[in-house]
């Protein structure tokens, strides 16, 4: 059984962010940036049969849109899409009603992240060119889903 609940454990969040930092960070960034913003981000913890398997952050992008960012734990990614959809359902049922849209993004150097967004139900809505450095300069695809589509 998959459950989703608000997570206020800053130490857990920081530990997970730090573990995954080098896999997703742009070149030249430091792990010292792995400090969650507990004031402007809402964090949720996903558990599967009582075991912690993922964290998701929700950050206001503007007054209408929230950005989601997944942190699915290593060794738990076979059910990543289920965990992502569970977090999105939590958003639909629990986030303030002013948020009508959920968005995420993924750099072109991470096609597996782009596939994940689509598997979770997001639609590609745009592309920014030359905006992410990872060995060379890549673009970032923007994905969105309306609250009612979740």
Residue range 31-79, pLDDT digits in tens? 676 788 899 999 999 999 999 999 999 999 999 999 999 999 999 999 9
- 29 pLDDT more than 70: no
- 23 pLDDT more than 80: no
Q: What percent of the chain has pLDDT over 70?
A: 95
Whole-number Cα distances in Å, 59 to 5, 41, 101, 130? 16, 5, 12, 24
Burial class (CB within 10 angstroms; exposed 0-12, middle 13-18, buried 19+) of 22: exposed
pLDDT band, very low/low/confident/very high, at 148 (cuts 50, 70, 90): very high
- Spelled out in words, what is the top-level CATH class assigned to the domain 2-149? alpha beta
Domain assignments of the chain as residue spans, ordered by start: 2-149
107 CB contacts (<8 Å, ≥6 apart)?
113, 132, 134, 138, 139, 140, 141
Q: Give the DSSP H or E segment for 57.
A: strand 51-60
Query: Which candidate, 20, 132, 32, places its Cα nearest to that of 80?
Result: 20
> Taking the model in full, what pTM does it have?
0.93
């Amino acid at each position: 059984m998959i459950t989703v609940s608000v997570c206020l454990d800053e130490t857990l969040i920081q530990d997970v962010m730090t573990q995954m930092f080098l896999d997703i960070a742009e070149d030249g960034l430091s792990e010292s940036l792995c400090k969650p913003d507990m004031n402007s981000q809402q964090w949720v913890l996903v558990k599967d049969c009582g075991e912690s398997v993922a964290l998701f952050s929700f950050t206001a992008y503007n007054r209408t849109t929230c950005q989601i960012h997944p942190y699915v734990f290593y060794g738990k990614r076979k059910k990543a899409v289920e965990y992502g959809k569970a977090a999105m359902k939590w958003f639909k049922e629990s986030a303030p009603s002013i948020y009508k849209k959920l968005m995420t993004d993924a750099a072109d150097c991470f096609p597996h992240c782009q596939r994940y967004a689509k598997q979770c139900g997001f639609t590609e809505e745009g592309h920014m060119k030359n905006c992410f450095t990872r060995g060379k300069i890549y673009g970032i695809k923007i994905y969105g889903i309306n609250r009612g589509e979740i």
